[in-house]
Amino acid sequence: TCHQRHQFNPAVARKSEQCKACHWGKDHRDWEAYDISIHGVVYQTYKWDPTQFDITKKLSDADYVGPTCQYCHLRGGHHNVQRLSTVYTSMGMSNADRGAPLWKERRDTWVSVCDDCHSPRFARENLQAMDEACKDAGLKYTETFK
């Protein structure tokens, strides 16, 4: 779980390693993706202590070197987990951008998260690239059934 069931400690829950318990392995490689990303590498390299940060502050305002999983996905320090808008299905991934208002709302939320450290343009372009990669992966996956 994100934190101990009977001894909730926010300082423990803020560590990216807590996510690894569920978000790694061949069925979903979230931990592996984070661990080798620039954000994960910075976190591992500097071994900064996320128990000492105020998750409600922007990284730049608080002088942190990089985000943990929780900084972006548990925006503002609460349990409202933010996910990307790629839709995972039993047959792979479906196209995230169907013009739906919910998709636009989620995308705008993610741009505002990334905008803490990056420009909105950088955020939108990288989120679009991730959508394309997921779409390509989904197409490759469904090709195996033909």
Query: In whole angstroms, how large is the CA radius of gyration of the chain?
Result: 16
Instruction: Quote the pLDDT of residue 98.
Output: 55
pLDDT at 127 over 70: yes
Taking the C-alpha atoms of residue 96 and residue 85, their distance in angstroms, rounded to an integer, is: 6
Instruction: Quote the pLDDT of residue 133.
Output: 83
Share of the chain above pLDDT 70, in %: 62
Taking the C-alpha atoms of residue 13 and residue 60, their distance in angstroms, rounded to an integer, is: 21
pLDDT per residue over 84-100, tens digit each? Answer: 544 444 444 444 555 56
pTM: 0.68
